Amino acid sequence: MRCDPPATLAGLAPVSVTPPRQRAGIGDALIRAGLSACRDLGATGAVVLGHPAYYPRFGFSRDAALPLRCRYAASPAFMAVALTPGGLEGVLEVAYPAAFD
């Protein structure tokens, strides 16, 4: 019998760039570097609480987050992305620190 370890998710914090610096690629670079660091640390997937129109360009989606239990699951800002094939399988619950409340 094969028993795979559970998925390991990383939480990508929302990115904010001061308005005069927006649209210069800073946020894009930060998110891509963050996702790369998540992969390097062995995360199989990532979750974010972020703008629903912005994060899908990096692969995040509400559909990917639907099977995950989280106190933010009803929010359109809660999205997930698999960083490896099957990277979100086996995940039951996502817990955020109290600072996100």
What CATH number is attached to the domain comprising 54?
A: 3.40.630.30
Helices (H) and strands (E) in the chain, counts: 2, 3
Cα distances (Å, whole numbers) of residue 30 to 33, 58, 65, 73, 92: 5, 11, 22, 24, 28
How many residues are recorded in the chain?
Answer: 101
Question: Residue 2: is its pLDDT beyond 80?
Answer: no
Q: Which residue has the tokens 């609480």?
A: 49
Q: Is residue 2 part of a domain?
A: no
15: its two tokens: 């990115």
Band of residue 95 on the pLDDT scale cut at 50, 70, 90: confident
| pTM for this entry | 0.86
Domain that holds residue 19: 9-95
Question: Residue 32: is its pLDDT beyond 90?
Answer: yes
Domain count of the fold of the chain: 1
pLDDT of residue 1: 47
Q: Is residue 3 part of a domain?
A: no
Q: Is residue 65 part of a domain?
A: yes
Band of residue 42 on the pLDDT scale cut at 50, 70, 90: very high
Q: Is residue 17 part of a domain?
A: yes
